Structures are given as structure tokens and as C-alpha cells.
Amino acid sequence: MKINVNDGRSIHFWTDKWLGNTTIKDRYPNLYKLSRHKDATIAKIMTEFTGLDFNFCRNLQRDEVRSLIQLVEELDSINLNREEDDLMEWNVAGEKKFTLKSCYDALSQDGNDNLDTDVIWRKNIPSKVAFWIWTATQNAIPTLDVLNNRGIPIINRCWFCKCKAETINHLLLHCTVTSQIWEYFIQAQKRIWVKNESLLKNLVEWRSGQGTHRGKKVWLLLPYAICWAIWLERNDRAFNSAENSVDNVIIKVKGFLYMWGLKDKIFEGLVFSDLCRNWVDIVSM
């Protein structure tokens, strides 16, 4: 991924590779440790009117001053264009346009054996959702636990059960509230499923098994629709102070399944309201 800096508002100053082939955090770890804003964007540090604002937590010592001088010299050639957005250019396998295939190929070349292209990028799953699922399996979606580990001081409590820490696996799999969503769909298809400790293991072991032709197709899409609906509901609670019931989240899951199944005509002859009223009968047909 090649980063083209313009206004600097979407690129992290310390942790993105925008200045050379390594991050500033890795080149200047002593300065990074002193920063109060470890997740700051370029625009926040390279301000328009006051120059560089690193917001260190204390005065610098002699060796730290030398590091700062070197860093400032590197930044000397950077002029932000505040009229244009930053650009991310996909630069893998000779392609400038991002595709899931080129992304997976690049990861495979790096020797990542934990990924299964059929598991992460299943047929009919939208690219945006598939990429988010992959990010979640890499423990990289911004849950409160992930943000805490990045040095952001924030209360780490699940937005659903309000008891446990919001780790990715807790939120998407093991929370007492979100588990009710899983149980609804698993029981509707008369399945027995024991959840694994991690999202990736669940996806790998999620097999079609027995059932009707429609039921098998729905089953394969289910974990993606459930996880995506949980994440959107989580963000509603976190950012919009909107709390939907479990039943409403279940309806969202059905909505995703209905939309994703249009191409394969999984629900041919049915309208969405049929899914809301007669789910058990429909997945048994």
C-alpha cells in the first residue's frame, strides 16, 4: 500500500508508513514513548499555523533532542496540501486498484498460513464486509480492547453486556447478549454448534452439513451476516447512543442474508417480510 500524503487528516503520524519504508514510531521509539497522542494524524502534529506540535509529556533529554532534530529534518521536505484528501494507492502484484485477490495473494506470499481464501472471502459476501471480517480475524478492528492496547486510555467495557472487556472474540462470539443472536439462528436450523474461542477458528470450522438446499446456503452466509450486524449495532451504541433490541439486530441479520442471497436466488419467490415472519419454515424449505 502506497500512501500519498495531502491534507494529512487520515494518516497516522507515528504508526503509518508514510515517510520512508518504516514507521516513525519504529525509527524514533524514544520520541514515540513521550508522545501524549500516539494515535495522532499527520495534520494534528503538523499544524497549519503553529508548526510542529508533538505534545510530549515532559522536556526532552539530550539524546531525545538529537532524535527530534533528525526527525524534523526528515519532515522538512513535507508540505501538506490541505485542499485535497490523502490517497491510499494499492501497489501490489502490479495492480493499482485494490482487489481482494491481490490482497490475499500478497498475504500468502508473506507466509501467512492462517488464512483460507474460501473462508474469508466467501461467495456473495460484499467486499467491504469480507475485508472487515479479515481485519477482525487479525485482531485489528478498533474494539475498546484494541484501542487500550494502542495506548488510548478508555474504559474497556462491552457495549452489549456492559460487564466484560470488549475484546473482538467476546464482542462477536461470547458476549451473553450477542450470543442470543447466534442461538436464534442456530436453533432455527436445528443445529448443534459449540463456539470456538476465536473468530477465525469458528469460520474455518463452519461447515454446511446437512439440511435443505436453501438452508445450506443460508448457513454458510450466517456467521458473516451475524458478525457484521453485531458490529454495526456496536457502533450505533458507541457513537449514536442508539440501543436496538436483540430482536431488531436479528432482523438486520435477515436483511443482510436477503440482500446477499439475491444473486443466487436463495430466497426466490419471497419478499423480505416473509423472512421476518416465517424464518424457521423458510430455512427448512
What is the dihedral angle through the alpha carbons of 147, 151, 157, 158, rounded to the nearest 10 degrees?
Answer: 10
Read off the DSSP letter of residue 34. H
Coil, strand, or helix at residue 16? coil
pTM as predicted: 0.63
Q: Give the E-state strand segments of 33-165 in sequence order.
A: 46-47, 51-52, 87-89
User: Residue 207 CB: number of other CB atoms within 10 A?
Assistant: 9
Question: Residue 76, exposed/middle/buried by CB under 10 A (0-12, 13-18, 19+)?
Answer: exposed
pLDDT by residue, tens only, the chain of 285 residues:
667 888 888 899 999 999 988 999 999 999 999 999 899 999 998 886 657 888 899 988 888 888 998 898 888 888 888 888 887 766 655 555 555 555 655 555 554 444 556 677 777 888 888 888 988 988 888 999 988 888 888 899 999 999 999 999 999 999 999 999 999 999 998 888 888 889 988 888 887 666 678 888 999 899 999 999 999 999 999 999 999 999 999 999 999 999 999 888 999 999 999 999 999 999 887
